[in-house]
Structure 1
Amino acid sequence: MRLKCGALLLGMMLMGMAVTTNTQVSAEAADGEVLVDPGKTFVKVYRLHDLPAWSKDGTFRPVLIMQTVQDQILPKQWEGRGGTATMAPYPQDGALVISATEKMHEKIEAFLDKQRPSK
């Protein structure tokens, strides 16, 4: 059962759905809308297919991007620096799985968008 729940959670994350953890949902939310308590954390998946997270042989290597995100986006909020936000690579999908507050997710998304090649 535990394995099935973990696989379901991972599947939801990989489909691009935000998975909330330790959050409070507002009773004022419209139908189908989930309002997350801004001080709580939730998990979000960031695909890096168009960012320099790959070696020449096609191996997923997101270490530089991960370090830059932790250095640029609220550095003291990351778990390794005394905070609660976490980040892990998911090589099977070329993505980062990040658990952070809404404010951090907004900053991470804006930062990654600036790194993406313009169309």
Structure 2
Amino acid sequence: MSVLNRRSFRYPIAFLLFACLCVAGFFAGYRTGFSSGYSSGRAKYQSEDPYPVVYQVGDLIRATRDAGVSPDTPLDFSTLMRVTQSMVFPAEWEQLGGNCSMASFPSLELLVIDATSGVHARTKELFEDMDSLKPAIAEKEQERLQLKRMQQEQVSKALEPVSKRLGETLVPIDGDVKLTGKWDVKIVAPDGKPATNQYTFIDQETFEAESSDPFFKSGKQWFSVSDGAMVAIGAGFHAAMNSDDALILVPTNDPTTYLRLTRTDI
């Protein structure tokens, strides 16, 4: 190899070594600066003393609760407080060992939060975000109520033949109705002798049939209820109560048959 070639080969290697040293120095400086800045910022944040800020949240709570709630119903501050503590720096609240706290004053519709500036800033953003959703929440709630009314009309129409046969007014059940306990069951078809049974509702998702009947085998069964309806293994029913609190179940595939359930352990 000639002298010229050796020199031209040596200089690029020197240049590459110099470039590598520059890059390494840059990253080392960046890492040191980042660590130092993060540590000092974190220390400042942790050393800051909490201070109280008063938040007017009455309208916010009203806008985010069910439209069907009576205006006289007390405002539910606890839900808003839980949401705030779970979404705004959870570790900074007293429940998890932090220094921030909050207290509600329902009669004044106020929430007083004792926190650092960072927590206050994020809390303000959260409340503003929730406030901006009020129109959408109200619209969705109206849609939900409209859908519920339509469902109630459909259930009432399906119950009408049985209601006329019984000569009773039937009111669709609510989804949170409590059925736990023993019920005597009378199954009435348009033709044939009525069948009887006894169902024991163990909890809100399990009941036990004492013996087999046209709808269920004996033993434990899974079930679920919603507004105006009950669904069990392999069967769906329109569900309503009469004036005597008897539960009337009308099979969705046979509106001429019904089950009348009467509590035995009142």
**For this structure pair, what is the TM-score category when the shorter chain's length is used for normalisation?**
0.5 to 0.7
TM-score (normalizing by structure 2): 0.29
Tell me the CA shift for residue 49 of structure 1: 2.2
Distance 1:47 1:58 in 2: 18
Q: When you count strand as a share of all residues, which structure comes out higher? A: 2
> Greater relative contact order (Cα 8 A, min sep 6): structure 1 or 2?
1
Residue deviations 1:52-105 (CA, integer Å, cap 9, x gap): 257632412211110000000000100011101001101121011110000100
Number of residue-to-residue matches in the alignment: 82
Is the counterpart of residue 101 in structure 1 residue 144 in structure 2? no
TM-score (normalizing by structure 1): 0.62
Which residue of the other structure, out of 90, 94, 97, is the alignment partner of 1:79? 94
Q: Which residue type is aligned with residue 92 of structure 1?
A: S
Tell me which residue corresponds to 1:61.
76
Contact 2:100 2:116 in 1 (8 A): yes
Distance 2:88 2:121 in 1: 10
Distance 1:52 1:90 in 2: 13
Higher alpha-carbon Rg: 2
Aligned residues: percent identity? 26
What aligned pairs does 1:1-119 form with structure 2 within 5 A after superposition?
39-52=48-61, 56=70, 57-116=72-131, 117=134
Structure 1 residue ranges without an equivalent (≥5) = 1-36
Tell me which residue corresponds to 1:21.
none
- Superposed structure 1 runs of 4+ greater than 2 Å apart: 52-58
SS in 2 for 1:83: coil
Residue deviations 1:35-60 (CA, integer Å, cap 9, x gap): xx862210001111221257632412
Structure 2 residue ranges without an equivalent (≥5) = 1-43, 136-266
Superposition CA RMSD, Å: 2.0
SS in 1 for 2:53: strand
Q: When you count helix as a share of all residues, which structure comes out higher? A: 2
